[in-house]
Amino acid sequence: MGLDLLEARIGYIFRDKTLLREALTHPTFVNEHKDLGLEDNQRLEFLGDSIVNTAITRHIFNLFPDAKEGELTKIRSTLVNEGTLSKVASFFDLGDFLYLGKGEDLNHGRQKSSILADAYEALVGAIFLDSSFDKTYEIIEKHFDSAFGHIEDVYSLDYKSTFIEYCQRKYKCTPDIVLVDEIGPAHSKIFVIDVTVKGKVFGRGKGRNKKQASQMACREALKSLEDMP
């Protein structure tokens, strides 16, 4: 298949097509075609690994304004790993475009999670070299949204269900989750939500949307329970 089809799928047209071809070239292909003087994708993979980590770190830092360092680290590790990256690659059928050695190809290399994840990182590295970090960040965000839905839904912060279950068991009632404020301009609002039980505020949370703010409020409510005897 032509590389223009892959470019259409990933939403990026390369100015330097050699970068794209290098990103798709597995070491086994280079080993079998040493006379061609090709470069494999390992250096681009090394670069792309850092770019993906930085992009996702930046995104979740903005997306979860109340989350502490440990929680942000946990969210990032859930989002950036071989499994998720290979799923993003599979969404675009990246494996169909790889240059693999014959043995690796016969051994179902185009479906291997490790090869797909590495190839996606290499692709990201190539896009970065061909454009800029801001453009690459935009592309990564679109890729994750296309493969999984919104990033905040990939990592499910289900504090809300946990706190509701606790209240039903302990207080025989359901907590009230109330929007108390909206901060900032219309295009970049921060929502503030309180979670209350029988009129008492147990937690307050902020988020880019009401769902996220509710989860953060319930997280704070659960933390307050940990301090109780």
66 is catalytic: no
* Dist CA 55 CA 134 (whole Å): 9
Single out the catalytic residue among 22, 104, 118, 121: 121
Spell 3-29 as b/e; 16+ CB within 10 A means b.
Answer: eeebeeebebebeeeebbbbbbbbbbb
Single out the catalytic residue among 22, 45, 49, 130: 49
Which residue matches tokens 């992009």?
A: 55
H or E segment at 205?
strand 200-207
Helical ranges in 80-184 per DSSP H: 82-91, 102-106, 113-130, 133-148, 151-154, 159-170
Contacts of 31 (CB under 8 A, 6+ apart): 101
What sign for the dihedral angle of Cα 18, 24, 27, 33? negative
Show the tokens assigned to 159: 């504090």
96 is catalytic: no
Catalytic residue annotation: 49, 121
